[in-house]
């Protein structure tokens, strides 16, 4: 039982470490150009469908990329740049959903769903584990013996 | 294990997943779909973003120096058909109002070459400042995603209205007249675009 528990702990540790590495290890952008590109990836092109300004060749996307570069050069914060673009082109260009109102569900539901899935898996595995530990009752043993005897008699 | 307990367990696993998926679908169905149409920034009533550049003729240009008169900040591209259609209207506006200092036009080029711009003005006429140098950030400052668009700037430097699409001289004049009428209203009854 202890060995099994240890293996589960090891699996959980590796899983959590992998998730943390994937989520955190992006690091800060190394240069202003990196920062501008990272920002452009999270701003939607106002005249394109489903393309960020980093991906689009539309003139307005070029314009926004140029403005982002200028603002970064001026030392503006990411929040300022995002807010300025939302002011000019609307909330829809912000690909980082806000954490309030209905949009907050985008953040909440995956967490709730993930926690539910983990809890479900835990319950299922524990039930399966309990089933593995079942021992035959005296009645079960008697039934098996009776069956063996019957087979031996027929054979 | 009975089939009843199996289906009970399945229900406990499937139901939460189904609920989460339904909530996602509801969210996707009810949220405002981004990128389904172009969004033009609303800067009406705001101080006109500064435009300090050099024109394609090498002349310095500063929008602030035009305070005291109306300015039509026109965003255009030579290949854009509505831009070609509206151009005679801008020419007529400039010819009527620039000589008296009432109003004038400035063109902000939306990603085009100097050769194209010169050919365009040679063909369609028009004599006013044309900004092509670093013009794209100006379009962002004015919230312009597509051309043509024109921001009508009042003599006090406030953007009265941004006209999306091709403009007519009469549209510009109506905006100017409306603003002038507001200035004649008693204090306290003016809109936010007033000084």
Structure confidence by residue, pLDDT tens digits, B139-191: 999 999 999 999 999 999 999 999 999 999 999 999 999 999 999 877 655 55
Report which of B48, B53, B43, B61 is spatially closest to residue B155, judged by C-alpha positions.
B48
pLDDT confidence bin for B192, thresholds 50/70/90: very low
pLDDT of A55 reads 94
Burial of B24 (0-12, 13-18, 19+ CB in 10 A): middle
Nearest Cβ partner of A46 from B20, B30, B145?
Answer: B145
**How far, in Å, CA of B66 to CA of A81, rounded?**
29
Chain A CB contacts of B146 under 8 Å are 47, 60
Strand order in the sheet with B103-109: B130-131, B103-109, B70-76, B149-153, B159-164
Long-range contacts of A67-70 (CB under 8 A, 24+ apart): A67/B136, A67/B137, A67/B140, A67/B141, A68/A36, A68/A39, A68/A40, A68/A43, A69/A32, A69/A33, A69/A36, A70/B137
Does residue A34 belong to the interface with chain B, where contact is any CB pair within 8 Å?
A: no
pLDDT confidence bin for B95, thresholds 50/70/90: very high
Enter the tokens of residue B61: 């240009």
Chain B CB contacts of A111 under 8 Å are none
**How far, in Å, CA of B138 to CA of A66, rounded?**
10
Report which of B14, B193, B167 is spatially closest to residue B93, judged by C-alpha positions.
B167
Using CA coordinates, name the residue in chain A closest to B37: A47
Chain B CB contacts of A49 under 8 Å are 35-36
**How far, in Å, CA of B93 to CA of B99, rounded?**
10
Chain A CB contacts of B139 under 8 Å are 59-60, 63
**CATH code given to domain A2-96:** 1.10.8.640
B52-184 homologous superfamily = Glutaredoxin (3.40.30.10)
pLDDT of B3 reads 62
Does residue A86 belong to the interface with chain B, where contact is any CB pair within 8 Å?
A: no
Report which of A59, A84, A58 is spatially closest to residue A71, judged by C-alpha positions.
A84
The answer to whether the Cβ–Cβ distance between A113 and B134 falls below 8 Å is no
Question: CB under 8 Å to B169, separation ≥6 — which residues?
Answer: B89, B90, B92, B93, B96
Enter the tokens of residue A110: 């995956």
Report which of A49, A51, A33 is spatially closest to residue A41, judged by C-alpha positions.
A51
| Enclosing H/E stretch for B70 | strand B70-76
Mean pLDDT score, B46-50: 95
Q: In the 8-state DSSP scheme, what is residue B43?
A: -
The answer to whether the Cβ–Cβ distance between A105 and B38 falls below 8 Å is no
The answer to whether the Cβ–Cβ distance between B20 and A109 falls below 8 Å is yes
The answer to whether the Cβ–Cβ distance between B38 and A67 falls below 8 Å is no
Does residue A66 belong to the interface with chain B, where contact is any CB pair within 8 Å?
A: yes
**How far, in Å, CA of A88 to CA of B89, rounded?**
27
pLDDT confidence bin for B194, thresholds 50/70/90: very low
* B88: closest CA of chain A, how far (Å): 24
Chain A CB contacts of B141 under 8 Å are 67, 88
Burial of B189 (0-12, 13-18, 19+ CB in 10 A): exposed
Q: Is the pLDDT of residue B125 over 90?
A: yes
Mean pLDDT score, B82-100: 97
Q: Is the pLDDT of residue B53 over 90?
A: yes
Q: Is the pLDDT of residue B34 over 50?
A: no
pLDDT tens sequence across B62-79: 999 999 999 999 999 999
**How far, in Å, CA of B136 to CA of A65, rounded?**
9
The residue behind tokens 């509206």 is B86
Asked if B93 contacts B99 with a C-beta cutoff of 8 angstroms, the reply is no
Domain definitions of chain B by residue range:
1-31, 52-184
pLDDT of B36 reads 43
Instruction: Outline which parts of chain A fall under CATH 1.10.8.640.
Output: 2-96
Q: Is the pLDDT of residue B38 over 90?
A: no
Average pLDDT over chain B, rounded to an integer = 87
pLDDT of B190 reads 53
Mean pLDDT of residues grouped by 10 in chain A (155 residues)? 80 85 67 94 91 94 95 94 91 80 74 84 80 77 90 72
């Amino acid at each position: 039982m202890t060995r099994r528990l240890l293996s589960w702990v090891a699996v959980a540790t590796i899983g959590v470490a992998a998730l943390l590495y994937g989520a955190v290890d992006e690091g800060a952008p190394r240069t202003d150009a990196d920062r501008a590109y990272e920002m452009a990836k999270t701003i939607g092109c106002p005249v394109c469908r489903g393309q960020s300004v980093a991906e689009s060749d539309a003139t307005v996307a070029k314009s926004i990329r140029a403005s982002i570069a200028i603002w970064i050069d001026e030392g503006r914060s990411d929040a300022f740049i995002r807010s300025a673009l939302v002011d000019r082109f609307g909330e829809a260009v912000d690909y980082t959903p806000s954490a309030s109102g209905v949009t907050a569900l985008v953040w909440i539901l995956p967490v709730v769903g993930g926690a539910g899935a983990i809890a479900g898996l835990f319950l299922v595995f524990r039930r399966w584990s309990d089933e593995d530990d079942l021992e035959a009752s005296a009645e079960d043993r008697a039934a098996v013996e009776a069956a063996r005897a019957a087979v031996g008699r027929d054979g | 294990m009975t089939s009843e307990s199996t289906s009970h367990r399945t229900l406990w696993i499937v139901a939460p997943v189904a609920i989460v998926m339904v909530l996602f679908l509801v969210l996707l169905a009810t949220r405002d779909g981004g990128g389904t149409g172009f969004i033009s920034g609303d800067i009406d009533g705001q101080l006109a973003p500064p435009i300090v550049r050099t024109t394609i003729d090498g002349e310095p240009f500063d929008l602030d120096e035009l305070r005291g008169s109306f300015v039509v900040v026109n965003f255009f591209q030579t290949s854009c058909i509505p831009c070609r259609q509206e151009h005679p209207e801008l020419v007529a506006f400039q010819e009527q109002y620039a000589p008296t200092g009432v109003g004038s036009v400035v063109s902000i080029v939306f990603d085009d070459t100097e050769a194209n711009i010169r050919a365009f003005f040679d063909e369609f006429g028009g004599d006013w400042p044309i900004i092509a140098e670093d013009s794209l950030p100006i379009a962002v400052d004015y919230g312009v995603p597509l051309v043509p668009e024109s921001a009508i700037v009042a003599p006090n430097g406030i953007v009265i209205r941004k006209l999306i699409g091709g403009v007519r001289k009469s549209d510009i004049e109506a905006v100017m007249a409306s603003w002038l009428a507001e200035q004649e209203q008693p204090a306290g009854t003016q809109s936010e675009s007033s000084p």
